[in-house]
């Protein structure tokens, strides 16, 4: 929902949605590919957002650029190039059989076995085996957690421990028993106590077990033995946190966040075909070939430089000047015109992403009448026409928090049920009537480096003031780190989906969810979200989603604004760039690119 992005099973806000944050434009060293050669050399591209963390699976680091790097290096905890699966252009699942295989052993109970191929190693030469799968299962299942969380705030209320802070959700894996590990330590079998709608998207490979063990002060063998002997967490009877597991979790939660190229090379350990070799904050990150990678996706070129250029015009200029060979700018009519003038090859389409306004439950918006009044002031049609229509004349105001117009009949059904379409144009008089003379102050958070978000804020500010609201500008270039901080009342940002799965539902809409930054809590929705994760019938699942969508509208949760257009472009010096509307953006097939010889 740049957009912020999370595991393949989550939205990136960054899942079901990625959040788009514009990075500061900066200069970096540029490289010129070997003339006339299609082998070796360097490819340089530009994206909007800056890189901030080698672990994009936490709520604070759930940004699309972090997810791109995790995807290429194979340590994102989601679908990628260094685990069991990735997504094709049409969002179908591609199995990475050069890494391993997985099979459904039984459907009742649901039992899935993962087997890693023999002889694979991490980039530092350490073997990849079931230890790594077990550790990542522990991270993503919440098996050892014994914390009870406040349904509204997500805060621990019983003195227990929540070890790993996930941007996504433990839904699905939290129903699995402790895994069965194969005698050769190369396989892991998961047994679910309930059906799990997204079980085929579970990739039990993320951060290396030996690195987390080292950060916890123990050997890999000792760390794995701890997991095998530590009791399952019980929120009804919390116990003091295990110091070793807590140390590993604390490092996983924050230790991968960086503001400079790390001197600790263990942060760079990769399983995929790429490995990070350099990082210049606010400017660029460089990936080279992982020499220990044994799969079929090693690139033909030597290194990939990703530059962070927040300004779309600056991206086009860099492309035209040959400083970069491909770009993923924020789409606009001006950008398209500039690309046409630059004779660039344009790859455009819809993103599985949407911009939205969320209201924080509590404070000024504790009163449903005030929430409804504020939503009545949002000029959604005006925002659409200023931002999206120039790029996509057929675009319409978005009227669902879950479905997109490209979902066809499901979207139409959801709109008819929810009533979000009643908020297309402002109703200032209706808002004034609900306020009944009150003049509430609303602080709005948005990305001040993103022209589209600035335009949305100004349009909302101007309209809401007419109804009696006092609007305070809480915009910040560091907006993503402020989400959920309580320093604002409404937020404008975007979610981008990985393109498959249903993990966005617990991530965003469940009480205490990893992406539930506005403290939304509805017990009926919580029940529906839980049902969505165990419902495998497509029609029944769609109906549950419609019910969740309708409930958010009735609660005046906020308003969806528009489905985001997507845009890539290249200057003809590389081959293989192809449009993809999911979280990983332009780098989704970077392993297949070649330099034009």
Dihedral angle computed from the Cα positions of residues 145, 148, 150 and 153, in that order, rounded to the nearest 10 degrees:
-10
Query: How many alpha carbons fall within 13 Å on the CB side of residue 236?
Result: 0
Q: In what order do the strands lie in the sheet with 100-107?
A: 100-107, 110-116, 187-191, 180-181
The answer to whether residues 556 and 368 touch, using CB atoms and an 8 Å cutoff, is yes
Count of Cβ atoms closer than 10 Å to residue 257 Cβ: 15
Asked if residue 465 is part of any domain, the answer here is yes
Q: How many domains does the chain have?
A: 2
Asked if residue 363 is part of any domain, the answer here is yes
Please indicate, yes or no, whether residues 232 and 378 belong to a single structural domain of this protein. Answer: no
Q: What is the CATH number of the domain that holds 154?
A: 3.90.76.10
The answer to whether residues 186 and 115 touch, using CB atoms and an 8 Å cutoff, is yes
The answer to whether residues 285 and 69 touch, using CB atoms and an 8 Å cutoff, is yes
The answer to whether residues 63 and 56 touch, using CB atoms and an 8 Å cutoff, is yes
Instruction: For residues 517 and 509, give the distance between their C-alpha atoms in angstroms, rounded to a whole number.
Output: 10
Asked if residue 516 is part of any domain, the answer here is yes
Please indicate, yes or no, whether residues 389 and 524 belong to a single structural domain of this protein. Answer: yes
Rg of the chain over CA atoms, in angstroms?
23
pLDDT per residue as tens digits for the range 179-227 = 999 999 999 999 999 999 999 999 999 999 999 999 999 999 999 999 9
Instruction: Spell out the long-range contacts of 433-437 with Cβ–Cβ below 8 A and sequence spacing 24 or more.
Output: 434/369, 434/370, 434/372, 434/373, 434/376, 435/369, 435/370, 435/373, 435/467, 435/468, 435/469, 437/468
Please indicate, yes or no, whether residues 400 and 539 belong to a single structural domain of this protein. Answer: yes
The answer to whether residues 564 and 558 touch, using CB atoms and an 8 Å cutoff, is no
Mean pLDDT of 140-168: 90
DSSP 120-180: -B-TTSPBP-HHHHHHHHHHHH-TT----B-TTT--B-SS----S--SS--TTGGGBPSPE
Please indicate, yes or no, whether residues 411 and 534 belong to a single structural domain of this protein. Answer: yes
Specify the pLDDT at position 497.
81
For residue 426, name the pLDDT band (cuts at 50, 70, 90): very high
pLDDT per residue as tens digits for the range 73-118 = 999 877 899 999 999 999 999 999 999 999 999 999 999 999 999 9
Distance of alpha carbon 263 from the chain centroid: 27
Burial label for 339, CB within 10 Å (0-12, 13-18, 19+), is: buried
Domain end among 255, 274, 294: 255
For residue 522, name the pLDDT band (cuts at 50, 70, 90): very high
Task: For residue 565, list its beta bridge partners.
Answer: 350
Specify the pLDDT at position 363.
96
576 contact partners, CB below 8 Å, separation of at least 6:
589, 592, 593, 594
Asked if residue 33 is part of any domain, the answer here is no
Mean pLDDT of 547-553: 98
pLDDT per residue as tens digits for the range 9-45 = 344 443 222 222 212 122 223 333 333 334 789 999 9
Specify the pLDDT at position 21.
21
Specify the pLDDT at position 299.
97
Domain end among 204, 220, 255: 255
Specify the pLDDT at position 59.
86
Please indicate, yes or no, whether residues 239 and 383 belong to a single structural domain of this protein. Answer: no
Please indicate, yes or no, whether residues 99 and 214 belong to a single structural domain of this protein. Answer: yes
Specify the pLDDT at position 67.
92
Residue bearing the bigger pLDDT, 455 or 27: 455
Specify the pLDDT at position 237.
97
| 3-class secondary structure, 417 | helix
What is the length of the chain?
597
Q: Which residue has the tokens 């044994």?
A: 294
Q: What is the CATH number of the domain that holds 447?
A: 3.10.105.10
Domain end among 230, 255, 280: 255
Lowest mean pLDDT among 243-247, 374-378, 496-500, 546-550: 496-500
Instruction: For residues 576 and 572, give the distance between their C-alpha atoms in angstroms, rounded to a whole number.
Output: 10
The answer to whether residues 72 and 81 touch, using CB atoms and an 8 Å cutoff, is yes
Dihedral angle computed from the Cα positions of residues 568, 574, 580 and 585, in that order, rounded to the nearest 10 degrees:
-70
What does the block give as tokens for 486? 């309580």
Which structural domain range is residue 401 located in? Answer: 351-565
Please indicate, yes or no, whether residues 249 and 356 belong to a single structural domain of this protein. Answer: no
Instruction: For residues 161 and 153, give the distance between their C-alpha atoms in angstroms, rounded to a whole number.
Output: 16
Asked if residue 557 is part of any domain, the answer here is yes
Distance of alpha carbon 331 from the chain centroid: 20
Please indicate, yes or no, whether residues 251 and 356 belong to a single structural domain of this protein. Answer: no
Asked if residue 281 is part of any domain, the answer here is no
Q: Which of 361, 333, 400, 305 is nearest to 555 (CA)?
A: 361
């Amino acid at each position: 929902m740049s957009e912020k992005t999370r595991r393949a099973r989550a939205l990136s806000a960054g899942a079901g949605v990625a959040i788009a944050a514009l990075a500061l434009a900066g200069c970096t060293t540029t490289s010129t590919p070997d003339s006339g050669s299609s082998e070796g050399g360097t490819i340089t591209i530009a994206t909007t957002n800056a890189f901030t963390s080698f672990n994009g699976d936490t709520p604070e680091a759930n940004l699309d650029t972090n997810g791109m790097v995790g995807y290429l290096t194979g340590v994102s905890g989601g679908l990628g190039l260094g685990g069991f699966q990735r997504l094709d252009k049409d969002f179908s699942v591609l199995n990475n059989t050069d890494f391993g295989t997985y099979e459904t052993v039984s459907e009742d109970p649901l039992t899935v076995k993962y087997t890693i191929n023999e002889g694979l190693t991490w980039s530092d030469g350490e073997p990849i085996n079931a230890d790594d799968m077990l550790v990542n299962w522990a991270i993503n299942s919440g098996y050892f957690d014994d914390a009870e969380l406040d349904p509204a705030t997500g805060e621990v209320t019983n003195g227990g421990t929540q070890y790993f802070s996930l941007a996504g959700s433990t839904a699905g894996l939290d129903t699995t028993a402790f895994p069965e590990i194969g005698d050769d330590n190369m396989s892991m079998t998961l047994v679910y106590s309930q059906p799990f709608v997204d079980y085929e998207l579970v990739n039990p490979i993320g951060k290396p077990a030996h690195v987390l063990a080292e950060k916890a002060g123990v050997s890999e063998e000792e760390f794995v033995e701890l997991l095998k002997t530590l009791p399952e967490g019980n929120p009804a009877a919390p116990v003091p946190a295990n110091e070793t597991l807590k140390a590993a979790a604390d490092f996983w939660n924050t230790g991968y966040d960086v503001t400079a190229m790390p001197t600790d090379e263990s942060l760079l350990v990769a399983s995929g075909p790429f490995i990070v070799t350099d990082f210049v904050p606010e400017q660029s990150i460089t990936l080279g070939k992982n020499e220990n990678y044994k799969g079929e996706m090693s690139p033909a070129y030597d290194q990939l430089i990703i530059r962070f250029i927040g300004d779309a015009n600056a991206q086009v200029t860099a492309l035209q000047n040959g400083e970069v060979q491909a770009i993923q700018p924020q789409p606009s009519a001006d950008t398209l015109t500039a690309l046409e003038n630059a004779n660039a090859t344009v790859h455009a389409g819809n993103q599985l992403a949407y911009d939205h306004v969320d209201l924080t439950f509590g404070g000024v918006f504790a009163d449903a009448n005030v929430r409804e009044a504020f939503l009545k002031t949002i000029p959604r049609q005006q925002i659409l026409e200023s931002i999206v229509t120039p790029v996509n004349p057929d675009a319409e105001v978005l009227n669902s928090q879950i479905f997109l117009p490209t979902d066809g009949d499901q979207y139409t059904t959801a709109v008819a049920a929810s009533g979000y379409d009643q908020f297309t144009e402002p109703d200032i008089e209706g808002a004034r009537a609900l306020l009944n003379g009150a003049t509430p102050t609303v602080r709005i958070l948005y990305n001040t480096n993103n022209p589209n978000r600035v335009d949305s804020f100004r349009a909302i500010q101007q309209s809401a003031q007419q109804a009696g609201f006092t609007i305070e500008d809480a915009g910040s270039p560091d907006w993503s780190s402020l989400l959920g901080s309580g320093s604002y009342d409404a937020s404008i940002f975007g979610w981008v989906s990985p393109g498959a799965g249903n993990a966005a539902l617990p991530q965003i809409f469940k009480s205490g969810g990893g992406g539930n930054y506005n403290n939304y809590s509805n017990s009926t929705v919580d029940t529906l979200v839980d049902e969505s994760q165990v419902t495998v019938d497509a029609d029944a699942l769609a109906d549950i989603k419609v019910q969740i969508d309708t409930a958010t509208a009735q609660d005046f949760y906020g308003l969806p604004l528009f489905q985001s257009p997507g845009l890539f472009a290249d200057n003809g010096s590389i081959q293989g760039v192809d449009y993809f509307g999911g979280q990983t953006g332009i780098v989704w097939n970077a392993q297949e690119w070649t330099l034009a010889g």
